[in-house]
Structure formats: structure tokens, C-alpha cells
Amino acid sequence: MLEVGHFIPEFELRSTQGDLFSSAKMTKKTILYFYPKDGTSTCTIEARGFSAAYQDLEAVGLQIIGISPDSIESHKKLRASEEIPFHLLSDNTSKICDLFGLLQRPSPEELYPIRTTFLVDTHRKILAIWPDIGDVDEDVSTHSEDIVSFVMEVFDKANL
């Protein structure tokens, strides 16, 4: 199981931007959030929360990346319908979700990850983890606010 201070695995996945996203080439600190499925109520609430926080997080040099087993086409539909400003990655085999230890059972028996968010630096080092967010609307709806508060507090303490 990955912990704060560990490094996330290197991976490459297709992005809604049209390219191959590589964790080895990250140039910004990144909020990397894994979610089960496009279009479900809690996943949509979570995406809306990150969309609302997008400008504040981008202003302090962070990028947001969402990952789920859904296809690029499904991700594009969600981005368009919810006006999501950041890109989503398709882990259609759940191999990356499995690599991160987010499946309750190994793929292909389990395809949907446990809702988890990582804050990582440009060297792929984990700075914070919000594990197993759950599917309770209240938890998901405040999740992005919790992350923004955490990031702003860290930046304030570091005088950044």
C-alpha cells in the first residue's frame, strides 16, 4: 500500500487531451484522484468540486488529473456535460488502479477503484493521501474543499 513519502509508480495512460499522459514527465505538483465511474452521482459531485477549485489550485501551481476505468469517449462526454476544466485519464483495464493498490480484488475481477486522492510532487513523491473517500455524498462534496484547505495551509506555513 502506498503511503506519504513513497513514490507513485510510473505509468502512462491516454488523456482526454488527446495524448499519452506520463507520470514520469510531470512538471507540476499534481492532485491525482481515482474515481469509480463517469456519470454516477458521487463521481459527478467529486468532479464538480475539483472543477470549482481548479482556478485556485492552478494559481498555486497544481494540476488536477482524474483517473477511472472509463473510456476516453466516456470521459470526454463527462467533461463536456459538466464543463470540467482538467483532463481525465482512461485506465480501461484497471492495471494502474491495481498498481496503486486501489482495487478490492485484483483485475479483472475488480475494475473499479476505491475513491482515493493523492497529492504528489514533480518527482512523483506522495505528499498527502485522502484514502477511501467513500460514496457518501457529503464526504465527496467537501472533498475538494478539504484538499484546497490543506494545500493553502501548507503553502501558508511554507510562506509560498
- Residue 115 sits in a domain whose CATH number is 3.40.30.10
Assess whether 97 carries a catalytic annotation: no
User: 93 is in which domain, residue-wise?
Assistant: 12-157
3-state secondary structure of 21: strand
pLDDT band at 144 (very low <50, low <70, confident <90, very high): confident
Amino acid present at 78:
L
Q: What is the pLDDT of residues 101-138, one digit of tens each?
A: 999 876 677 789 999 999 999 999 999 999 877 655 45
- pTM of the predicted protein model: 0.90
**2 lies in some domain:** no
**1 lies in some domain:** no
Helix segments in 23-94, DSSP class H: 41-59, 72-82
pLDDT at 155: 67
**140 lies in some domain:** yes
**Distance from C-alpha of 44 to C-alpha of 141, rounded to nearest angstrom:** 10
**Distance from C-alpha of 56 to C-alpha of 64, rounded to nearest angstrom:** 11
Q: Which residue among the candidates 43, 96, 133, 140 is catalytic per the annotation?
A: 43
**7 lies in some domain:** no
**Distance from C-alpha of 3 to C-alpha of 118, rounded to nearest angstrom:** 10
**4 lies in some domain:** no
| Structural domain total, the chain | 1
pLDDT at 135: 57
Q: Do 114 and 104 contact (CB within 8 A), yes or no?
A: yes
Q: Kind and range of the H or E element at 142? A: helix 137-157
Q: What is the mean pLDDT of the chain?
A: 89
Q: What is the pLDDT of residues 32-62, one digit of tens each?
A: 999 999 999 889 999 999 999 999 899 989 9
Amino acid present at 157:
K
pLDDT band at 147 (very low <50, low <70, confident <90, very high): confident
